[in-house]
Amino acid sequence: MELNLVRQSAAAVSADAVIVFEAEGGKSLAGVLPVQYESGEISGKFAEYTLVHNVAGFASPRVLVAGSGKPEALDSTKLRKLISGALRTLKSKGIKSVAVAVHAAADVEAAAEAGVVALWEPDLLKTTGKEPEKAIGRVLIAVESTDPAVDAAFEKGRVIGTALNTTRDIAVEPPNVLTPLALVARARAVAAAAGLEIDVLDQDRMKQLGMGALLGVAQGSAEPPALIIIRYNPASGPTKDNLGLVGKAVTFDTGGISIKPADGMEKMKYDMCGGAAVIGAMQAIAALKPGVSVTGVIPAAENMPGSKAQRPGDIVTSLSGKTIEILNTDAEGRLILADAITYAKQLGCTHLVDAATLTGAIVVALGHAASGVYTNNDDFLDTFLAASKQAGEQMWHMPLFDEYLEQLKCVYADIQNIGTRWGGACTAAMFLKEFVGDTPWVHIDCAGTAWLDDAKPHMAKGPTGVPLSTFVHLALNWK
Ligand code: BES
Ligand code: MN
Ligand code: ZN
């Protein structure tokens, strides 16, 4: 798909269809579309789409009037959804080229991102029934404004959209294809194309270093684990601050010996979405060049039962030196993250954000509306949440009360890997906190937000790319 910026008005731009916006109660096209306006067919209500043909004064043969609702309620997130929904509507009609007519630079960013993200489909491996004839090949972002900020806004939206699709392409791959070593290959390809440094620790190196928590999770699988490190530094060299992005990449989570029920287990191919979001974020960061050093750390493993698998009752020694009693092998994400977090600190990260499809409990708490976030540093959380708002990724601050740590107290080892039935997302976060120490840290539990179970008007079923855009905005905002 081609995405281009053109300095043209909605009327002048030429495509199979042009998307224009109408605010609630607005009358901007009432002169040329009297029937639609007088009948109330076009009311400007949010996400109302009206396709009209051969409108006087428009070079394009079709105009899709997209209701943008109340102007004061329209932010960049809603605009992105609105444009994405419009593009998917036109795609379903077999339209091949679309122009999106916007006015301000901020809208150009939203339009460019939507232009890339909206048309992604999870059908990489379908060989029939793809309806390739129903694919938009060209999206034009049309803007008349001569504001010099327009070019940078277009580029930022395009880069973030493209990175989101990289993450989704990786995340959607089935678990027989996307093994930990296949993930390494994807990460290497992204790093090479972006000009980023990449290091990969293999199983032997992890043994030498003493990553017992990560190795314990991987030992039941025939697929060896890997720890991927991707580095970005500004052109002027490494900075004093080094932002560590740590992403859980369990390429398939059967639960291990504490095996999961069969129903819905296939969704555990998405248990690497945190890691895939870090890889995509590094791709975007390399292109947008923030002024802070960023280090991506991705522990990759497959959680399988088997004769070599870790058992409930096993005690492992983590890289930090802390011993962990494994009470449930399905609480594996926190184990691989414990070693990855310790390693990120050893690499010199001064701030840490981790993303993980960590618990079913966060989905019970927040549904699919928001990721749960936890912190040991409220100032860093404020900075982080500001970035999440710009990204349009909804996040909700969850607590780390001392009571959760009580639940992890263990007689046989320093800590145990699960608490009681209740507050499971909080005990998981508390477990991570024990390995983070004093480094400013935010943990994102994106188990409810990293993928869509069913297609939405603005987005295909499958991985969403969350929280990639928050990562990128956090780095770009760095002071
Ligand atoms: N990957 C799962 C969490 C998950 C569940 C993500 C549902 C998305 C949807 C994680 O490894 C896990 O199995 N967590 C357990 C923890 C429990 C054993 C303490 C859970 O949430 O049930
Ligand atoms: Mn699990
Ligand atoms: Zn898991």
Q: Answer yes or no: 168 catalytic.
A: no
135-187, pLDDT tens digit by residue? 899 999 999 999 999 999 999 999 999 999 999 999 999 999 999 999 999 99
Of residues 231, 334, 345, 433, which has the active-site annotation?
A: 334
Query: Which of these three, 114, 144, 174, is where a domain ends?
Result: 144
- CA-based nearest residue to 212, from 222, 224, 203: 203
| 196 shares a domain with 118 | no
Indicate if the alpha-carbon torsion angle 459, 465, 470, 474 is positive or negative: negative
Ligand 1 atom with least separation from CA of 260: 13
| 333 shares a domain with 299 | yes
For 61-109, the three-class secondary structure string (H helix, E strand, C coil) is CEEEEEEEECHHHCCHHHHHHHHHHHHHHHHHCCCCEEEEEECCHHHHH
Q: Is the peptide bond before 174 cis (omega within 30 degrees of 0)?
A: no
At residue 199, φ and ψ (nearest 5 deg) are: -125, 145
Ligand with an atom nearest the CA of residue 254: 2
Ligand with an atom nearest the CA of residue 328: 1
| 229 shares a domain with 96 | no
CATH number, domain at 87?
3.40.220.10
Residue nearest to atom 17 of ligand 1 (CA): 331
The predicted structure's pLDDT at residue 168: 98
Q: Is the separation of the CB atoms in 465 and 393 below 8 Å?
A: no
Query: Does residue 150 form part of some domain?
Result: no
Query: Does residue 171 form part of some domain?
Result: yes
Degrees, nearest 5: CA angle 405-408-414: 105
| 404 shares a domain with 268 | yes
| 103 shares a domain with 176 | no
Query: Which of these three, 109, 144, 179, is where a domain ends?
Result: 144
Query: Does residue 149 form part of some domain?
Result: no
407 C-beta closer than 6 A to ligand 1: no
**pTM of model > 0.95:** yes
Query: Does residue 157 form part of some domain?
Result: no
388 C-beta closer than 6 A to ligand 1: no
Q: In which residue ranges of the chain is pLDDT below 70?
A: 131-133
| 120 shares a domain with 213 | no
418 C-beta closer than 6 A to ligand 1: yes
Query: Does residue 358 form part of some domain?
Result: yes
Test site for ligand 1: of 359, 364, 407, most ligand atoms within 8 A of the Cβ: 359
357 C-beta closer than 6 A to ligand 1: yes
Strand pairing class (371-375; 395-397) = parallel
271 C-beta closer than 6 A to ligand 1: yes
Cα(213)–Cα(340) distance, integer angstroms: 10
Ligand 1 atom with least separation from CA of 419: 19
331 C-beta closer than 6 A to ligand 1: yes
CATH number, domain at 461?
3.40.630.10
Amino acid making up residue 430: M
Q: Is the separation of the CB atoms in 181 and 224 below 8 Å?
A: yes
| 294 shares a domain with 200 | yes
| 186 shares a domain with 39 | no
Ligand 1 atom with least separation from CA of 250: 1
At residue 46, φ and ψ (nearest 5 deg) are: -60, 135
389-432, pLDDT tens digit by residue? 999 999 999 999 999 999 999 999 999 999 999 999 999 999 99
Q: Which helix (H) or strand (E) holds 475?
A: helix 468-476
Residue indicated by tokens 């009470």: 327
Q: How high is the mean pLDDT of the chain? A: 97
Q: Which helix (H) or strand (E) holds 187?
A: helix 180-194
Query: Does residue 159 form part of some domain?
Result: no
Cα(149)–Cα(308) distance, integer angstroms: 57
| 239 shares a domain with 121 | no
Query: Does residue 467 form part of some domain?
Result: yes
| 344 shares a domain with 278 | yes
Ligand with an atom nearest the CA of residue 256: 2
424 C-beta closer than 6 A to ligand 1: yes
Residue nearest to atom 5 of ligand 1 (CA): 360
Q: How many independent structural domains does the chain possess?
A: 2
| 97 shares a domain with 176 | no
| 238 shares a domain with 188 | yes
Q: Answer yes or no: 80 catalytic.
A: no
Ligand with an atom nearest the CA of residue 270: 1
Of residues 45, 188, 260, 322, which has the active-site annotation?
A: 260
Q: Find the domain containing 116 and state its range.
A: 2-144
Query: Which of these three, 144, 173, 207, is where a domain ends?
Result: 144
Query: Does residue 15 form part of some domain?
Result: yes
The predicted structure's pLDDT at residue 130: 76
Exposed/middle/buried for residue 347 (C-beta within 10 Å: 0-12, 13-18, 19+)? middle
Q: Is the separation of the CB atoms in 61 and 53 below 8 Å?
A: yes
Contacts of 407 (CB under 8 A, 6+ apart): 419, 420, 423, 427, 430
How far apart, in Å, are the Cα atoms of 409 and each of 289, 412, 420, 426, 442?
43, 9, 11, 15, 23
The predicted structure's pLDDT at residue 184: 99
- CA-based nearest residue to 297, from 317, 277, 320: 277
The predicted structure's pLDDT at residue 131: 66
253 C-beta closer than 6 A to ligand 1: yes
